[in-house]
Chains A and B, each alone.
Chain A
């Protein structure tokens, strides 16, 4: 994986331990928002940090690198899950996590989780991470126009679910 061109975090001199301490929990939450399983999210983040550690010293922006690694890991996880669902005919079990109890929000999160992978990624990065469309494009390796159109279709799909 190449280092992302878009800098997502402030490029300051951090040790690996400091980066881990600062970014781990937010990244686990990001991965959780994407994959819906806390254990898997933690695993993906650990793997991303391990890959980052291997390249430590050669990265211009380790924070951006590890974040992109997490996102890519989530996308790979989705592909694996899709294969499992196709084969086993059931949905992959999702671990319960301590989310604020709000039926309306739960419904929205379920709707987001049901989106196709790219749409889901865009929605999470846009509305959870609050990233701009160019930054999202950098993470996903697509053009800004693609992000815009994907986001538009995702919102349209969500709207149909939320406002039938």
Chain B
């Protein structure tokens, strides 16, 4: 070995003496689960999640607020995208970088298509402490008061044209992070201002809305209407929706964290919220259309009036046609009627998913804890059906569910059903608990966890004859494994 090699070897071996702190295996496993979940969700039903109605704290299904961005994704021209996420599970884009020294977040994205030197980005950081390490003359409109404190907790890098932006925050604890809202937008361009990735987060936190501090003001336009989302400096959010409720000029989420904004790979918008009128509304949209659904209410509300309002606003209503006007009842007035296949008692531990499954006029609310789950009806019931139907499914978003679980599904079953069985991958059958909805209806619902390999759901009458079957092939994806 010559002298150069010896010197290089000696120098490089210095790295072997660097002290390395203990690792966190659980963080690795969480990351693996997140990756797996994203892979599952990508090809499955788009169900987003929602709210604990009337409760001040929102927990949402993991992954609901995050999105992995591929540079190969079709570019979205024009408006910035906002992602919501919880502070503990940080958003990471394909070009992003997260460090591991505590709650941090960072993202790199790339504006493309604009002439070099002609694009300026505006970065707005709300709450927490923020310091711009390198003030950039090309960033315009950056509120100075947001940048005057801290000791290096935030680094900003940015550029123009075909370059990139990096945002890194360190040292914020989770509570601070939840109070941080970040938005980035193109404020000047010399050509098409195309953002190839989401450019920020909206963190929802409690606090009264103060109009003077509105920092995120973005409209989401769809064929069916427009939603205007305002995020305030204190974390409060407002959602102005074209399909307004009767007598309301805006749906205001005043200090209520029950809103979740999620984009799927199909650029879908899925918002579920409890408005200040006590109505649970779900708005779903793609780049082609928007749909609003009345998912429930904490007090009676006229379905016809709501439907008329939605129609007038150009939003495609999704309420079952025909029949007399339906008055929704408060979820709290409806008894808990069903339990999931686990047969466990109602959730008494950490809430991991509270999801609304809406099928025409029917609202079914699913609440899943780490060890238990429950299902309850929270809206009008459709007419009885002679066949089993899929009412809804929450795809692969259940923390703590069996590893091989792929989908939580809700089905309606024929009135004569006395028992349900799931045919597994080995041909074996396992019973599925279910219960009827009280109140005179003969509709029955069942909630189930579909496992990989499950092939069929069978409904049997009191004497054991099969009265209906439903294929579970759509859910029978192979266990994930990367």
Q: Interface on A for B, CB 8 Å cutoff?
A: 16-17, 20-21, 24-25, 28-30, 32-33, 38-40, 42-43, 45-47, 49-51, 53-58, 80, 83-84, 86-88, 93, 97-100, 102, 104-106, 108-109, 112, 123-124, 127-128, 155, 158-159, 162-163
Q: In the assembled complex, how far is the CB of residue B463 from the closest CB belonging to chain A, in whole angstroms? A: 44
Which of B156-164, B250-258, B365-373 forms contacts with chain A? B156-164
Cβ B14 vs Cβ A43 within 8 A? no
Query: Which residues on the B side are within 8 Å of A83 (C-beta)?
Result: 163-164
Q: How far is the CA of A127 from the CA of B9 in the complex (A)?
A: 5
The residue from A42, A54, A155 contacting B36, defined by CB atoms under 8 A apart: A54
B25-A17 in contact (CB<8A): yes
> Do B4 and A159 touch (CB < 8 A)?
yes
Chain B's closest residue to A155 (CB) is: B4
- The residue that A54 contacts in the complex, of B11, B14, B35, with Cβ under 8 A, is B35
CA distance A40 to B99 in the complex (A): 6
B1-39 near A? 1/0 per residue, CB < 8 Å = 000110111111111111110010101110110011000
CB of B281, distance to nearest CB on chain A (Å): 37
Which of B19, B25, B164 has the most C-beta atoms of chain A within 10 angstroms of its own C-beta?
B25
Q: How far is A7 from B4 in the complex, measured between Cα atoms in Å?
A: 29
Say yes or no: A50 contacts B28, CB within 8 Å. yes
CB distance B482 to A51 under 8 Å?
A: yes
Interface: B101 (CB within 8 A): yes
Q: What is the minimal beta-carbon distance from B482 to any residue of chain A, in angstroms? A: 3
- Among B155-188, those with CB < 8 Å from A are 155, 157-159, 162-164, 166
B157: A residues at CB distance < 8 A: 84, 88
- Does chain A have a CB within 8 A of B208? no
Of the four ranges (under 10, 10 to 19, 20 to 34, 35 or more), the interface on chain B belongs to 35 or more
Q: 0/1 per residue, B79-122, Cβ < 8 Å to A? A: 00000000000000001011111000000100000000000000
Asked if A54 and B32 sit within 8 Å, CB to CB, the answer is: yes
B380 touches A (CB below 8 Å): no
Measured in the bound complex, the distance between the Cα atoms of B8 and A24 in whole Å is: 24
Note all chain A residues with C-beta closer than 8 A to B108: 80, 84
Known: A55-B481, A155-B4. A88 touches B163 (CB 8 A): yes
CA gap between A62 and B380 in the complex, in Å: 53
* Nearest 3 pairs of A and B residues by beta carbon: A87-B163, A54-B482, A108-B11
Given A46-B31, A99-B15, the answer on whether A25 and B9 have CB atoms closer than 8 Å is no
Is A51 a contact partner of B35 (Cβ separation < 8 A)? yes
Listed by A's residue number, 16 A-B pairs whose Cβ atoms lie within 8 Å are A29-B16, A29-B18, A33-B12, A42-B99, A43-B97, A46-B27, A50-B35, A51-B482, A83-B163, A87-B164, A98-B17, A100-B14, A104-B7, A106-B11, A128-B13, A155-B5
**Shortest distance between the CB of A60 and any CB in chain B (Å):** 15
Interface centre among B4, B166, B480 (most CB of A within 10 A): B4
Decide yes or no: A29 and B99 within 8 Å by CB, A50-B32, A84-B164 being known contacts: no
* A-contact bits for B233-277, CB 8 A (1 contact / 0 none): 000000000000000000000000000000000000000000000
Residue in A closest to B160 when the chains form the complex, CB atoms = A87
Contact for A46 among B13, B17, B28, CB less than 8 A: B28
Chain B residues whose CB sits within 8 angstroms of the CB of A24 once the complex forms? 20, 23
A33 with B8: in contact, given A46-B28, A57-B481 (CB under 8 Å)? no
For A58, list chain B residues within 8 Å (CB). 481
Instruction: With a 10 A CB-CB cut-off, give which of B28, B35, B95 has the most chain A CB atoms.
Output: B28
Tell which of A20, A40, A98 touches B18, judged by Cβ atoms closer than 8 Å.
A98
Q: Report how far A122 CA is from B11 CA in the complex, Å.
A: 15
CB distance from B339 to the nearest CB of A (A): 32
| CA of A28 to CA of B23, assembled, Å | 10
Residue on B nearest A51 in the bound complex, by CB: B482
B5 contacts A98, C-beta separation under 8 Å: no
Partner of A112, one of B11, B20, B166: B11
CB distance from B82 to the nearest CB of A (A): 23
Contact A108 to B18, CB < 8 A, known contacts A39-B100, A55-B482: no
Most A Cβ at <10 Å: residue of B32, B35, B36: B32
Q: How far is the CA of A54 from the CA of B13 in the complex (A)?
A: 32
Write out the residue numbers on chain B whose beta carbons fall within 8 Å of the beta carbon of A42: 23, 99-100
Most buried by B among A28, A87, A93, A124: A87
**Assembled-state Cα–Cα distance A29/B28 (Å):** 18
- CA–CA, A51 to B31, complex, Å? 9
Contact check, A39 vs B99: say whether CB atoms are below 8 A apart.
yes
A62-B10 Cα distance, complex, nearest whole Å = 29
A-side contacts of B99, CB under 8 Å? 39-40, 42-43
Measured in the bound complex, the distance between the Cα atoms of B37 and A26 in whole Å is 29
Taken together as a complex, chains A and B put the C-alpha atoms of A61 and B154 apart, in Å, by 40
Give chain B residues whose Cβ lies under 8 Å from the Cβ of A98: 17-19
**Inter-chain contact A32/B18, CB cutoff 8 Å:** yes
Q: Kindly state the separation between the CA atoms of A28 and B18 in the bound complex, as whole angstroms.
A: 10
Report whether B4 and A162 are in contact in the complex, using a CB–CB cutoff of 8 Å: yes
Q: Interface centre among A127, A155, A162, by most B CB within 10 Å?
A: A127
Shortest CB distance A159–B (Å): 5
Taking a contact as CB atoms under 8 Å apart, the answer to whether B100 and A43 are in contact is yes
Residues A54 and B480 in contact, CB atoms below 8 Å apart: yes
Q: How far is the CB of B170 from chain A (nearest CB, A)?
A: 9
Considering the chains assembled together, what is the distance between the CA atoms of A55 and B18 in angstroms?
30
Chain A residues, CB < 8 A from B31: 46-47, 50
B4 engages A109 (CB within 8 Å): no
Bound CA span A81–B94, Å: 14
Across-interface contacts of B95 in A (CB, < 8 A): 80
Compute how far the CA of A153 lies from the CA of B96 in the bound complex, rounded to whole angstroms.
32
